[in-house]
Every structure is written in structure tokens, then in C-alpha cells.
Structure 1
């Protein structure tokens, strides 16, 4: 049972990573063609920051899925709503901090 689920998730994660990589490649090609060297410099400097925020978001999302899944499995509707509310506020807070710092 777990092996089948793992294989499905593995394929999904690989496709997701390939899609992100393809998007980054297309972005760099378009910027290089239409904006030039300065645009590529800015893109090269900003991409690691973008990836840090994306990784942070993915980690938070994975944790929230586990916690909310546990509360849903127990039939705890109030706990599930609380989990969703806290995760939404956390995402909003991180977004605001990111906007201020960047």
C-alpha cells in the first residue's frame, strides 16, 4: 500500500520539479533575449531568494497537510478550521515579511 502511494507521489514530485526547472529555463531565455545582460544579472541575483521562499512555502505546506489531515481524520472540525486559520495567518505573515525585506 505505502509503496504504491510512494511511487505515485514520486512521479508527481519529479514532474513538479521538472516543471519548475523548465519555467526557470524559459524565464532566463526570455530575459536574455529581450532585456539583455543586466536583466540576466538581476534574474541571477533574485532567483536564489525566490527559491528560498518557495522551499519555505513547500515545507510549511507539507507540515500543514499532516496536521490538518490528522485533525480531519479524528473528525475534529474545530481543530481543522483552527489549523487552516493558523496556516493562512502564517502564510500572510511570511509574505508581508518577504515584501518588507525584499
Structure 2
């Protein structure tokens, strides 16, 4: 994948912002003084919230690929632009 300076900057900024949000959630856990409550909150994050977020991200990625397909891009073109393989692009388009 070849990034233009704007794309690379955007990716770096997105990474920074997402990391800050994750760090805030972890700091929230660290700030719970009661060990039982802290463990329960950690379990909530690890077992419920993160898997649910991963499912939402997967759906968003599939929708993005389908949007690109609707614009007339081929799987090969999308793969070239994203740096993913054609089979992976096909899987994303099929929500797999």
C-alpha cells in the first residue's frame, strides 16, 4: 500500500486518537480501588465491550468494501489500494 502524505498523516492521527481512547478505558479500570469491582470491570471490557466493538469494526470494514464495489471498483483494485489480498477483500465484502 502506498500512502500519500495526507493518508499517512490521517492514519497516524487515527492511531493516536484511538490509542488515547483505549488508554482512557484502561485508566478507568486502574482507578477502581476495589479489586473485586476492578476485576469485574476488566471482565466487562475484555469479555463484552471489546468483542462487541470488534464485531462493529468488522461490519464497518465490510460496508466500506461494499461501498467501493458500488462505486465500480474491482476486488483487485480495492486490494491494491488497501494493501489486502483479493481473497481477503472478497471475505470482507461477504462479512466473513
TM-score range, shorter chain: 0.5 to 0.7
Cα distance in 2, alignment partners of residues 16 and 54 from structure 1: 13
Aligned to 1:57: 52
TM-score (norm 1): 0.50
- Please tell me the root mean square deviation across aligned C-alpha atoms, in Å: 2.5
TM-score (norm 2): 0.53
Task: Identify which of structures 1 and 2 has the higher relative contact order when contacts are C-alpha pairs closer than 8 Å and 6+ apart.
Answer: 2
Aligned to 2:67: 72
Question: Structure 1: which 4+ aligned runs deviate by more than 3 Å?
Answer: none
Aligned to 1:12: 17
Is there any run of 5+ residues in structure 1 with no aligned partner, and where?
Answer: 33-39, 77-86, 88-102
> Deviations along 1:30-56, whole A, 9 cap, x unmatched?
xx4xxxxxxx24313312321221220
Say how many residue pairs are matched.
66
Aligned to 1:45: 39
Is there any run of 5+ residues in structure 2 with no aligned partner, and where?
Answer: 72-94
Aligned to 1:22: 27
In terms of fraction of residues, the more helix-rich structure is 1
**Per the alignment, do residues 54 and 21 of structure 1 end up closer, same or farther by CA in structure 2, a change over 3 Å counting?**
same
